[in-house]
Amino acid sequence: MKFEVLKQSHLKRNILIGVVVVLILIALILTFTRAKYRVTESIPLVNGTINYSLADLNIVAITVDGEASDTIPEGNYKLTEESYCTVNDEEDSSITLNYDSSTQTLSVIPFTTKGTKCYLDFEKLKSAADTIEELYPNNQDILAYDDYNNLRYISANPDNYVYFNCDDYNNLNSSSCELWRIIGVFNEDTHGINGTKLVKLVRNDSLGNIAWDIYDGNNYTNNWETANLQKDLNDNYLLGNTIENEKGITPTTREMISTITWKLGGTTINNDSEEETSRTFYTIERSETVFNDNPTTWIGKIALIYPSDYGYATSGENTTSREICLITALFNWNSASFSDCKNNDWLYNGDEKWTITPGSQSYLAFHVDNDGHIYASSDGLGELRDVYPTVYLSSSVAITGGEGTEQNPYTLAPN
């Protein structure tokens, strides 16, 4: 066998060609890999991640509101019953799919293996306001419209409980959440946001006995804008600080509360407005009538119930129908003749609770008395009474589950 030694010039040429070939191969590999990873995304799982290629949806296919999609939708969406998984191209009914819209997290139980194909179909969740309004036709024993087209929960104990102010909205239970209750669905006349209906909540338990305002050496003032209680609720409690040993509003919850225009109308009528009914109180609350030069509105997140909220929450019963209750002065609800009004009103619980509505003098604001009637006591704003924070939900918050009972409250999805 004859061997020849390559000339030095041939050797250099071959090395150069080899380097060029290697560089081309590396470039091709990098280009392919870059393209591959550019179209690869992932869906977070409770216990891991599903990776899927947008160019080859043989692992996961997605539709959103009936349209094909490349990604999990953002916002309040839910998986429909059209979603399913297959193993070896046959649907596997033992696989359960769950989706958390707040974290865009998908759980697949049992955990999927390579080759399992999941087809996900999403639809937009209804707003909490829409969900409640859809309940009305079949639940008129606990839901009723007032004279101003606001839908309210009524009766002694309607199913209007909801988990709220939660530490963890991925783990909704009595340990991580507080119980609040839904007052109803309110139109723009109440909150000032045009063309929008908002859900109004009130805390189920009192924060404690707190003064509406504190004597400053000159006088009390029933101006909610400057009241000590308003500042306590919005400069302290809203920011997560405790009040009366009760935890403050959590950061996620804070984002679920709408900033609205609270109406501060009151009355110049003396003797505690003994003739005011639920209907006339509603008008007074939204009037331009205020004591002295107090403002007629306040923009903020947390306040208190109105006298009309209390009055319209009754269903009445037996000898005193709801209609009779609504035309009876709230000042007279402590009378035995009208006991059915307060006893079938879920906002009555025997506490003395403050309302936001000012009275006819600087030291007066209305409250629900422990015997069930409403008046502006001459004891004044420094009197310690129960405080039940009241808020409006953001219009995009959705009801995601639950039955509204105390044992199985409604659950909410953050924005």
- pLDDT 10s digits, 347-377: 999 999 999 999 888 889 999 999 999 988 7
d(CA 178, CA 34): 49
Sign of the four-CA dihedral 217, 206, 159, 102 = positive
- Residue 22 within a domain: no
- Residue 39 within a domain: no
**Whole-number pLDDT of residue 6:** 38
Mean per-residue pLDDT for 21-36? 51
Average pLDDT, the chain: 85
**Whole-number pLDDT of residue 8:** 45
Q: Residue 414: which pLDDT band, with cuts at 50, 70 and 90?
A: confident
- Residue 18 within a domain: no
- pLDDT 10s digits, 311-352: 999 999 988 999 999 999 999 999 999 999 999 999 999 999
- Residue 371 within a domain: yes
**Whole-number pLDDT of residue 192:** 93
**Pick from 279, 46, 11, 343: which is nearest to 145 by CA?**
279
My answer on whether 80 and 146 are in the same domain is no
My answer on whether 59 and 132 are in the same domain is no
d(CA 276, CA 189): 20
**Pick from 269, 308, 271: which is nearest to 286 by CA?**
308
My answer on whether 101 and 192 are in the same domain is no
My answer on whether 149 and 100 are in the same domain is no
Higher pLDDT, 19 or 410: 410
Q: Residue 266: which pLDDT band, with cuts at 50, 70 and 90?
A: confident
CB 85 within 8 A of CB 70: no
Strand boundaries in 288-349, DSSP class E? 297-300, 316-317, 320-321
CA distances from 367 to 208, 229, 235, 385 (A): 15, 14, 23, 8
d(CA 282, CA 263): 10
- Residue 99 within a domain: yes
**Whole-number pLDDT of residue 309:** 98
Q: Which of 89, 104, 124 is the last residue of a domain?
A: 124
My answer on whether 373 and 232 are in the same domain is yes
- Residue 375, number of CB atoms within 10 A of its CB: 21
Contacts of residue 60, defined as CB under 8 A and 6 or more positions apart, other chains included, come to 43, 50, 52, 117, 118, 119, 120
- pLDDT 10s digits, 4-15: 333 445 555 666
**Pick from 133, 165, 181: which is nearest to 310 by CA?**
181
Q: Which two tokens stand for residue 66?
A: 């009936």
Q: Is the pLDDT of residue 26 over 70?
A: no
Higher pLDDT, 48 or 115: 115
My answer on whether 286 and 198 are in the same domain is yes
My answer on whether 88 and 132 are in the same domain is no
Query: Which of 18-27, 42-51, 56-65, 145-154 has maximum average pLDDT?
Result: 145-154
d(CA 54, CA 200): 42
Q: Which two tokens stand for residue 167?
A: 């530490």
Q: Is the pLDDT of residue 399 over 80?
A: yes
My answer on whether 118 and 223 are in the same domain is no
Lowest-confidence pick of 125-129, 155-159, 401-405: 125-129
| 158: amino acid identity, one letter | P
My answer on whether 142 and 177 are in the same domain is yes
- Residue 201 within a domain: yes
**Whole-number pLDDT of residue 77:** 84
Q: Residue 197: which pLDDT band, with cuts at 50, 70 and 90?
A: very high
Q: Residue 56: which pLDDT band, with cuts at 50, 70 and 90?
A: very low
- pLDDT 10s digits, 69-121: 878 887 778 888 899 888 878 888 888 888 877 667 777 777 656 667 888 89
d(CA 112, CA 349): 51
My answer on whether 90 and 188 are in the same domain is no
Which residue range(s) make up the domain with 48?
44-124
**Whole-number pLDDT of residue 280:** 93
**Pick from 191, 119, 202: which is nearest to 150 by CA?**
191
Q: Which of 101, 124, 147 is the last residue of a domain?
A: 124
**Whole-number pLDDT of residue 52:** 43
**Whole-number pLDDT of residue 109:** 79
**Whole-number pLDDT of residue 5:** 36
Q: Residue 128: which pLDDT band, with cuts at 50, 70 and 90?
A: very high
Query: Which of 38-42, 107-111, 232-236 has maximum average pLDDT?
Result: 232-236
**Whole-number pLDDT of residue 315:** 98
**Whole-number pLDDT of residue 39:** 35
d(CA 302, CA 71): 37
My answer on whether 91 and 189 are in the same domain is no
Q: Residue 29: which pLDDT band, with cuts at 50, 70 and 90?
A: low
**Whole-number pLDDT of residue 345:** 98
My answer on whether 146 and 82 are in the same domain is no
Q: Is the pLDDT of residue 396 over 60?
A: yes
Mean per-residue pLDDT for 381-387? 95
Q: Which of 98, 124, 150 is the last residue of a domain?
A: 124
DSSP three-state, residue 111? coil
- Residue 78 within a domain: yes
Number of domains the chain contains: 2
- Residue 56 within a domain: yes
